[in-house]
Structure 1
Amino acid sequence: MTGNRERRPVIIDIAVCTYRRVELDQTLLSLAVLTVPAGTLVRIIVADNDVTPSARDRVEAMRSAVPFEIAYVHCPASNISIARNACLDHATGDFVAFIDDDETASEDWLSELLVMADTTGADAVLGPVRAVYPNIAPGWMRRGDFHSTSPVWVSGDIRTGYTCNALLRRNAPSLAGRRFDLALGRSGGEDTEFFTHMHKAGGRIAFAKDALVYEPVPNGRATLAWLTKRRFRMGQTHGRILLETSAGPGRWTAIALAAAKSGYCFAAAALFAALPVQRHRYGLRGIMHAGVVSGLFGVREIEQYGNLEKAPQ
């Protein structure tokens, strides 16, 4: 009888894009102890974005410590969009979960993402990324928590996202055939564009506040210079996306608005000169809006990854 048939298991591919990071071991070990709901099967896809398959031996050495199947994919080179697309191309499950190769997942990470997906029926679910600062990080940076990641709501709606903690429903119409832009694979912003266009195609994005992952902040990123460059690039990406739908007078209106916001934020930063957290928060926001102006003028995003992020294996 039909009613006696066993329910088909839910299959989840966990995608980990990697590029010369020794922290990959800790990422995989954190996935090894995930709480997996009954009736759920997990597979891990590791996409190695190096020119040579430098992560292959590391993955092979970790297989005995991880209770899930690990699919290793070599997808050169030095372009994160290539790696993300390789994960999507090799995924066969009902869902694809993305986590970065320098992050560690909380035990309930996957369960919390799945619960929110089931509860809301959303096409994508985002979780928070909590930054873990080194001792050399300035006090204002730790107090203001400038590196942690959470979604931004606009009129109660999440309109874009990120891949450092996300779950995608593979059969959602808004995700059919969707891939990450190769032109943005070295600058960053490819995930912002991906989720923005998914949302414009009717995809809904939800947030699972308890689906937590942790990300250590390297010394090289615990600087105002790195934050400045990142915020400007984020603004460039947003400006370029606005440019797609802003033509003629609409473009100049958007430029004037972004310039006004930038000026306001810089003025507020000066006003709060004696308060480092507020000063830097307004200053960085002003830099982001300046990046929006740059993007609206058609300036391509600065390259922040690839060669700049290289580290020895």
Structure 2
Amino acid sequence: PIRYRHAPARNISIARNACLDASVSDLVAFIDDDETASPGWLVELVATAEATGATAVLGPVRATYRQDAPDWMRKGDFHSTLPVWVGGEIRTGYTCNVLLRMTEESLRNRRFSLARGQTGGEDTEFFDSVVKSGGRIAFASHAFVDEVVPSSRAAFDWLRRRRFRFGQTHGHLIGRNTGGLRRVCQVGLASAKAGYCFGMALLAAVSPVRRNRSMLRGIMHLGVVSGLVGVREIRQYGITPQEGEKRAA
């Protein structure tokens, strides 16, 4: 049986929380509305959850580009999604392809931040809190979902804004309960990383894939600086057509 839950608000966190509130199962899977699950998607997620006992299991998102997408973007595959490993662990996650074990203590009564429901980053914060509460995240490498990249997102400017917001979220998270000299050191480190990435972009100027990858990474680190100093995160979701036209102007 399929049940629809109406969540009439321009806030993605409200929709995600409505799904969690409506669920009566031990396992909950999230997939985005513009994605197509592979035939073995759910089987792979559940098998990995059972084999690892993890709190959450992530799967890969494979981007498919339209013919009008820039050649460098198609070659570099800038839109596919994979988890980030740090020291052999996954410390945060995403909701575009994930299975949650709702019986775990680190997930009990946990919900997505309404404050990030229009900026994005609500999933990053959610999984960061899960891990800090003792939860573990595993990866099911064969639990694929596919996503066609629309023309509106097949542009450097869209990637720039998204990477910058990624950095802002990360900066806010690492800056929590951090002040004084330690925060200054974090700002200095992120600034140095940004400078290094922009330098590498200059060196790779003749290679569009390497140049743009370095540029976007540098922009992400600038976002980290922005988050560390408390700049409000840019808004990405819940924008009306009129607002979008004003911003474009």
TM range (shorter): over 0.9
In structure 1, the gaps of 5 or more residues are: 1-68
Structure of greater relative contact order (alpha carbons < 8 Å, 6+ residues apart): 2
Q: Does 1:274 align with 2:169?
A: no
- AA aligned to 2:3 is A
Q: Does 1:97 align with 2:25?
A: no
What does 1:22-33 align with in structure 2 at a 5 Å threshold? none
Q: Does 1:112 align with 2:33?
A: no
How many residues were matched structurally? 243
Residue in structure 1 matched with residue 150 of structure 2 by the alignment: 218
Q: Does 1:242 align with 2:174?
A: yes
Query: 1:184-209 CA deviation, whole Å, 9 max, x = no partner?
Result: 00010000000001000010000000
Residue in structure 1 matched with residue 64 of structure 2 by the alignment: 132
* Structure-2 separation of matches of 1:249 and 1:238: 19
Residue in structure 2 matched with residue 251 of structure 1 by the alignment: 183
Q: For residues 142 and 309 of structure 1, do their structure 2 counterparts lie closer, same or farther at Cα, with a shift above 3 Å needed? A: farther
In structure 2, the gaps of 5 or more residues are: 245-249
CA RMSD across the alignment: 1.2
* Structure-1 separation of matches of 2:241 and 2:138: 31
Farther off after superposition, 149-158 or 300-309: 300-309
Residue in structure 1 matched with residue 231 of structure 2 by the alignment: 299
- AA aligned to 1:97 is A
Give the 3-state SS of the residue equivalent to 1:231 in structure 2.
Answer: helix
Identity of aligned residues (%): 62
Query: 1:75-121 CA deviation, whole Å, 9 max, x = no partner?
Result: 12010000000000001001000000000000000000000000000
Runs of 4 or more above 2 Å deviation: 308-311
2:135 counterpart (203, 206, 209): 203
Residue in structure 1 matched with residue 125 of structure 2 by the alignment: 193
What does 1:36-75 align with in structure 2 at a 5 Å threshold? 69-75=1-7
Residue in structure 1 matched with residue 247 of structure 2 by the alignment: none
Residue in structure 2 matched with residue 49 of structure 1 by the alignment: none
Residue in structure 1 matched with residue 54 of structure 2 by the alignment: 122
Rg (Cα) greater in structure: 1
Query: 1:257-290 CA deviation, whole Å, 9 max, x = no partner?
Result: 0000000000000000001110001000000000
* Structure-2 separation of matches of 1:118 and 1:195: 19
| Shift, 1:246, TM fit | 1.7
Give the 3-state SS of the residue equivalent to 1:118 in structure 2.
Answer: helix
* Structure-1 separation of matches of 2:237 and 2:72: 25
* Structure-2 separation of matches of 1:113 and 1:227: 28
| Shift, 1:247, TM fit | 1.5
Give the 3-state SS of the residue equivalent to 1:75 in structure 2.
Answer: coil
- Taking structure 2 as the reference length, the TM-score comes to 0.96
Query: 1:191-236 CA deviation, whole Å, 9 max, x = no partner?
Result: 0000001000010000000000001101000000000000000000
- AA aligned to 2:147 is E
Query: 1:136-161 CA deviation, whole Å, 9 max, x = no partner?
Result: 11111011000000000000000000
Q: Does 1:158 align with 2:90?
A: yes
* Structure-2 separation of matches of 1:76 and 1:232: 28
* Structure-2 separation of matches of 1:137 and 1:109: 27
Give the 3-state SS of the residue equivalent to 2:224 in structure 1.
Answer: helix
Q: For residues 282 and 309 of structure 1, do their structure 2 counterparts lie closer, same or farther at Cα, with a shift above 3 Å needed? A: farther
- AA aligned to 1:265 is C
- AA aligned to 1:247 is G
* Structure-2 separation of matches of 1:296 and 1:116: 36
- AA aligned to 2:228 is L
| Shift, 1:306, TM fit | 1.1
Q: For residues 309 and 264 of structure 1, do their structure 2 counterparts lie closer, same or farther at Cα, with a shift above 3 Å needed? A: farther
* Structure-2 separation of matches of 1:104 and 1:78: 23
1:142 counterpart (51, 69, 74): 74
